[in-house]
Amino acid sequence: MDPIIRIDHVSFSYGEASARALDDVTLSVSPGDFLGIIGPSGAGKTTLASAMSGAIPHHYTGPFFGNVLVDGKDTCAVTLTDISQIVGSVLQDIDTQMVASVVEDEMLFGLENFGVPHSQIEERVIDALETVGIADLRDRTITSLSGGQKQKVAIASILALNPRVLVLDEPTAELDPASSVTVFDLLSRYAREHGTTVVVVEQKIALLSQYADMLVVVDEGRIRFADAPAQVLEHSDELKAIGVNCPRSTTLMNRLR
Ligand code: ADP
């Protein structure tokens, strides 16, 4: 099967004078895969996610080398609107993503912008809110929501658009451990049912390892490991050296070995 995302020797800097935020990155993501991106702060995780969502090179400009193909389309050769028909992204800074003042309007904005037929809109809104478990927030103003509730609204708004690829940048940053598990559960169930490819940037490696088919470890703009979670976790000493702390039990297991 052709990859849904293909990144081929990509390097990128935020402006001529900046160091490389991505440095010769090559990676393929198969349709339906659940990919987790981890790494220390400043490693290039968000930059990698932005290259997949088309924010790079369309929103952030700078020296860009190599190719990113999304469903076979070169992201440099098509518009951001074209890419967003395939890739739905939930940014780390939720407040910059929200455009409306009420939850329902936020969802309608995306659906209407995408030209979804009016006859389908109500069903899509209800389905997405229920999938994320926030049907009760539909009429709330966004400013009255907690950070975690806003994250869920942002996820529901994107799910309503039914993208083939979901890119989420730290979707559980504002959530407690139990709610983080709920979000990962719903994302993986949704992805299985819809055949959606999911890419998640996440700090919590133990959580990510339970859901991801593949973990990509980024450090200083380069990919250090890209493999199944169990294989990546075997490198706990190297991970620790770059600032990624593995679950205790894995560290212990590797030591015992
Ligand atoms: P991570 O998501 O792993 O924390 P980022 O992708 O945000 O890392 O950042 C990678 C590098 O790019 C860092 O050195 C960071 O300072 C730089 N960077 C990120 N965003 C910008 C930006 N908008 N302008 C300039 N430099 C940036």
pLDDT tens-digit series, residues 193-249: 999 999 999 988 888 999 999 999 999 999 999 999 999 999 989 999 999 987 766
Query: Which residue's CA is the nearest one to ligand 1's atom 14?
Result: 42
CA atoms in the 13 A half-sphere facing the CB of 73:
18
Per the structure block, which two tokens stand in for 111? 């659906």
As a whole number of angstroms, the distance between CA 58 and CA 199 comes to: 19
Helix (H, G, I), strand (E, B) or coil at 136: helix
- Ligand 1 pocket test, pick from 10, 25, 45, 46 with the greatest ligand atom count within 8 Å of Cβ, gives 46
Report how far ligand 1's centroid is from the alpha carbon of 192 (Å). Answer: 31
Query: Which residue's CA is the nearest one to ligand 1's atom 19?
Result: 47
* Residue 235 pLDDT: 93
pTM for the full predicted model:
0.95
Report how far ligand 1's centroid is from the alpha carbon of 148 (Å). Answer: 23
As a whole number of angstroms, the distance between CA 167 and CA 88 comes to: 6
* Residue 247 pLDDT: 75
Cβ-based neighbours of 129, under 8 Å, separated by 6 or more: 107, 135, 137, 138, 156
As a whole number of angstroms, the distance between CA 98 and CA 84 comes to: 16
**Tens-digit pLDDT string for the chain (257 aa):** 899 999 999 999 999 888 999 999 999 999 999 999 999 999 999 999 999 999 999 999 999 999 999 999 999 999 999 999 999 999 888 888 899 999 999 999 999 999 999 999 999 999 999 999 999 999 999 999 999 999 999 999 999 999 999 999 999 988 889 989 999 999 999 999 999 999 999 988 888 999 999 999 999 999 999 999 999 999 989 999 999 987 766 665 666 55
Per the structure block, which two tokens stand in for 222? 């380069």
Which protein residues are within 6 Å of ligand 1, measured from CB? Answer: 14, 18, 21, 39, 41-47, 60
